[in-house]
Chain A
Amino acid sequence: MSVLVFVEIADGKIKKAAYEAAYYAAKTAELTGTTAEAVVLGTAGADELANLGNFGIAKIHHANDARFNTFDSKAFAKAIAEKASGADIVVLSFGPNGKLLAPRVAVRLKAGYVPGAAELPTFEGGTLKVVKNVFSGKAKAFYQVATAKKVVAVSPNSLSPVKGSGTAAVEAFAPAVSDADFGTVVKSVDKLTGHIPLTEADLVVSAGRGLKGPENWGMIEELANEMGAATACSRAVADVDWRPHHEHVGQTGFMVKPNLYIAVGISGAIQHLAGVNQSKVIVVINTDPEAPFFKAADYGIVGDAFVVVPKLIEEYKKFKAAAH
């Protein structure tokens, strides 16, 4: 069973989530006794791609073709499926592009597809089982795929790739796609500069109605800045425009799974928890000891955000100074 991973790049750099997908592919190959190869679409330097060797990728098929520098689900699916014709397991990442791309690739290959793998698969008695979170992280499911060819999309922030050492040979790949396959014209890109993307963040500082007004977010941003964390908020706060909607975490907003999620002044409604309960560690700061969020927390402080957060900033600064 050979494994092929689609490694996404942005501006010539391998995306963080793509390293996780590569690592998943390499580990799956190890488990099933084969090797993992990668396919990369778009302009990138050989030095950057060579990094994949350190994560267990043996060979890279690179379409160094500028048409792939913007995303088009149809053209990308066609190119990946072409390269995947000889692979048994195809791995992608379950990010904004992969969520649309992976099912398209699966249909082209008529392969069974498991989206959102949250940990490495199991392989016993020749049967591969893909592990994924279901019911917004309230349970895990072990998926079996009936087809010989299988497609898996890996949830970002689920794995911690371990860097080894290895080399990957880069081979040119010229997919049989025509200009007509690229149906998507990018009109504009609106990047939030100076912010860490929420869905990629290792650390998240989030706040809710307990902050009483949008003017009080300064300390949240300061804490996030100190920690190198992304900022987030509850739905209640996004709905009244205290904070932009791209910060809304929850069932209908973004699902996040950072290593650390600090929730300040958020009661912890079930819809909010659905978006955060896959975080590794949750810290809850709330004046109300009965706030339901404490039930989902690893650490809690019952206290006023306006007292606790400035103290936390101060203590974190001390910790950082001592660490250096």
Chain B
Amino acid sequence: MKILVPISKVPDTTSKIAFVDNNTKFSTDNVQFIMNPTDEWYALTKALELKEAQGGEVVVIHAGLADSEQVIRKALAIGADSAFRIDMDPTDAYAVSVEIANHAKTGGYDLVITGKETIDYNSFEVGGMVAELLDWNAVALVSKLDVAGGKATATRDIEGGTETVEISLPAVICATKDLAAARIPNMKGIMASRTKPLTVLAATGADKLTSIASYQTPEKAKECKYVSVDNVAELVRLLHEEAKVI
């Protein structure tokens, strides 16, 4: 089984979120970049679990510039066999998805496994777009996945529960929590990652369909209003009369 895992690079959760150039650009000053958590913890590790159980190959693909190498090497250290970097500034999901789909079309893949939305733009776009560009079946928010006999059985989140579905391969799966157990790269993996193939692909220059005109940060931090433990009735009153939420 050949599996493609698109990975994204995002600011670490603890990064200070600030904007420059009159609030039109995210400030990367002192920002530490990491692999998007659900790409790493669930999509990549599920791909590795499938490969270990059934044989095959796990390939990661990333749209980004040369400074993404560290994130890609980490995916190789965790266990991916090889990697591709599409040389582009990934500012639009459609442009990124076109490049990933172009690669997937010629790669002979059975599965594309993505994470869920990235923790920066929270957009959840690439999985669905790649599926449509390839005209493949897809299931999103998958917390359990079995693959056998050319079919995938996937359990996905729905409102207020889960649903288990079966689809034929090739397919796109978008992972969510619990799909696999996260792994920490070991020394052997880190050593091996240095020599695993990382191929840089030129971008075909697909159209960028969206852009961000500006950002806005909340005007001021919330002021917490404290209520005494001896006066819980006051909390109920405030929630009803002041906040008007009950």
CB-CB under 8 A from A274, the residues of chain B are 13, 119
**In the complex, are the beta carbons of A100 and B138 less than 8 A apart?**
yes
**In the complex, are the beta carbons of B215 and A144 less than 8 A apart?**
no
The interface on chain A, measured as residues whose beta carbon lies within 8 A of the other chain's beta carbons, has a size of 98
**In the complex, are the beta carbons of A134 and B233 less than 8 A apart?**
no
**In the complex, are the beta carbons of A129 and B213 less than 8 A apart?**
yes
Interface residue ranges of B131-146 to A (CB < 8 Å): 131-133, 135-141, 143
Contacts A143-B212, A186-B165, A189-B161 given; does A297 touch B224 at CB 8 Å: yes
Number of A-B contacts (CB under 8 A): 273
Is B166 close to A, CB under 8 A?
yes
Contact of B128 among A103, A245, A248 (CB under 8 A): A103
Interface residue ranges of A205-248 to B (CB < 8 Å): 227, 245-246, 248
Minimal beta-carbon separation of B30 from chain A (angstroms)? 15
CB-CB under 8 A from A318, the residues of chain B are 233, 236
Contacts A74-B137, A115-B123, A186-B164 given; does A106 touch B17 at CB 8 Å: no
The proximity string for B residues 219-240 relative to A, scoring 1 for CB distances below 8 Å and 0 otherwise, is: 0011011111100110111111
CB-CB under 8 A from B167, the residues of chain A are 183-185
CB-CB under 8 A from B168, the residues of chain A are 183
Minimal beta-carbon separation of A312 from chain B (angstroms)? 5
Contact of B132 among A99, A108, A116 (CB under 8 A): A108
Contact of A96 among B119, B141, B216 (CB under 8 A): B141
Minimal beta-carbon separation of B194 from chain A (angstroms)? 29
**In the complex, are the beta carbons of A107 and B246 less than 8 A apart?**
no
Is B184 close to A, CB under 8 A?
no
CB-CB under 8 A from A147, the residues of chain B are 209
Residue contacts A-B, CB under 8 angstroms, 22 given: A15-B159, A96-B140, A101-B128, A104-B128, A106-B209, A115-B122, A134-B121, A135-B17, A139-B216, A144-B212, A185-B165, A185-B166, A185-B167, A186-B164, A203-B245, A274-B119, A295-B224, A297-B224, A301-B228, A301-B232, A302-B226, A316-B246
Could you list which residues of chain A lie within 8 angstroms of chain B, going by C-beta atoms? 10, 15, 17, 71, 73-74, 77, 94-97, 99-104, 106-108, 110-116, 129, 132-136, 138-147, 183-192, 195-200, 203, 227, 245-246, 248, 251-253, 255, 259-260, 270-271, 274, 280-284, 294-304, 307-308, 311-312, 314-316, 318-319
Could you list which residues of chain B lie within 8 angstroms of chain A, going by C-beta atoms? 11, 13-14, 17, 19, 37-38, 41, 93-94, 97, 116-117, 119-129, 131-133, 135-141, 143, 153, 156-168, 174, 177-178, 207-218, 221-222, 224-229, 232-233, 235-240, 243, 245-246
